[in-house]
Amino acid sequence: MLGQVFNLSLLQNTIRTATPLILAGLGGLLTMHAGMLNIGMEGMILLGAFFGVVGSYFFASSFMGVVLAVVVGIIIGVIYGFFVIELKSDEFIIGIAINIFAGGLTIFLLRSIFGVKGAFSSPGIVSLPRISIPLLDQIPVLNTIFNNHSVFVYISWVLVVLTYIFLYKTPYGMWIRAAGEYPEALETVGVRAKRMKYISSIACGVFCGFAGAHLSLGYLTLFTENMSANRGFIALAAIIFGASNPIKTFAAALLFGFFDALGIRLQVVGIPSQFTQMIPYLMTVVILFIVAKKHMMQKKKVQKEEGAIQ
């Protein structure tokens, strides 16, 4: 039975299920660096998934699906930025508002555009292309795990590297981090902190649009109500676990993806789905608990050291 769970498809599934977490995680860590805790990623992913289907279905092109998902992502990113940066609204409330709005809007549009309830699937939805890497198909194990994934799997890996370079190796990334750490310091050297915050917020919308399009057009080609299934929040957990570092967040997203995949595999061997579906969320709680505990210990240690100096 163990062989049915712990096999190559578990790893293959991990890579698939981790991808939306990686994409949303990258977007969220950009806003995190710019000083905004974005909990609206959940809604951004959901809208991306829906409009990905809309674009793909009406233009008969998965590319147009992605374009539409990204456009909506940009719009939501601007709205989030406008409220949080310009109007200085509470970022939690705006995040929650986006999530509720996305849930309601997609249900409403599902009925009014497609005339269905709950889910929409059709042969007319064009799925995203799968990529077959030429030489990899010669190597048996790696081929199963890494090859023939949907295009966003590979894009997400490239984006991890690009985001890392952007944040730590370019002046613009420096400005984003500075805008989050001490915006006044950035303003006094003549760089607009607000602009950097907007850029991060919009980038987050785009990345979440990718994540949504991957969900609805990557492997399955359908949209179901609430199909983001809290991935925005798990991505947030990955960001916190990964200390907002793209590489570490990537690793954390893979870990959470693994538990997601594990849940799916366990279902195959007959363990009740009510239990298996719990696993990724349960592990998120456990890991966040460990992170918090570690953080507290560090704080105590620092306090102790400072006390010793005085």
Partner 1 sequence: MGQDMIELKGVTKQFPGVLANDAIDLSIEEGEIHAIVGENGAGKSTLMKILYGLQQPDKGEIFFRGKAVKISNPSVAINMGIGMVHQHFMLLPSFTVAENIVLGIEPRKRSIFMDYKKAVEITQDLVRTYGLKVEPQLKVRDVSVGIQQRIEILKALHKGADILILDEPTAVLTPQETEELFVVIRKLVKELNKTVIIITHKLQEVMALSHRVSVMRQGKLIGTLETKDASEQIIAEMMVGREVLLEPLEKTTVEGKTILEVNHLKSRDNRGLLALRGVNLHVKEGEILGIAGVEGNGQSELVEALTGLREIESGEVMVFSKNLAGKSPREIRESGIAHVPEDRLITGLSKDATITENMMMGLHDQEPYAKKGIHTNKQTIRQRVETLIKKFDVRTPSQDVLVENLSGGNMQKIVIAREFAFDTPILIISQPTRGVDIGAIEFIHQQIVEKRNEGCAILLISAELDELFRLSDRIITVYEGELTGTFNNGEISKKEIGLYMTGKRKLSKEGGA
- Binding residues vs partner 1 (CB under 8 A): 165, 169-172, 174, 177-178, 181-182, 184-191, 310
3-state secondary structure of 129: coil
Report the distance separating Cα 258 and Cα 267, nearest Å: 14
Least Å distance between CB 251 and partner 1?
Answer: 21
Q: Between 111 and 169, whose beta carbon lies closer to partner 1?
A: 169
Least Å distance between CB 249 and partner 1?
Answer: 18
Least Å distance between CB 232 and partner 1?
Answer: 27
Report the distance separating Cα 73 and Cα 209, nearest Å: 5
Angle between helices 8-33 and 171-181 (to 10 degrees): 70
Q: Is 201:36 a contact under the CB 8 Å cutoff?
A: yes
3-state secondary structure of 34: coil
Strands (E), 111-270: 119-121, 130-131, 149-150, 222-224
Least Å distance between CB 90 and partner 1?
Answer: 17
Q: How would you classify residue 192: left for phi > 0, otherwise alpha for psi between -120 and 50, otherwise beta?
A: beta
Q: Between 112 and 310, whose beta carbon lies closer to partner 1?
A: 310
Least Å distance between CB 191 and partner 1?
Answer: 5
Q: Which amino acid is at 14?
A: T
Place of tokens 């952007």: 166
Least Å distance between CB 171 and partner 1?
Answer: 4
Structure tokens at 104: 């309601």
Q: Between 60 and 185, whose beta carbon lies closer to partner 1?
A: 185
Q: Between 165 and 285, whose beta carbon lies closer to partner 1?
A: 165
Q: Between 123 and 190, whose beta carbon lies closer to partner 1?
A: 190
Q: Which residues pair with 120 in a beta bridge?
A: 223
Q: Between 116 and 165, whose beta carbon lies closer to partner 1?
A: 165
Q: Which amino acid is at 30?
A: L
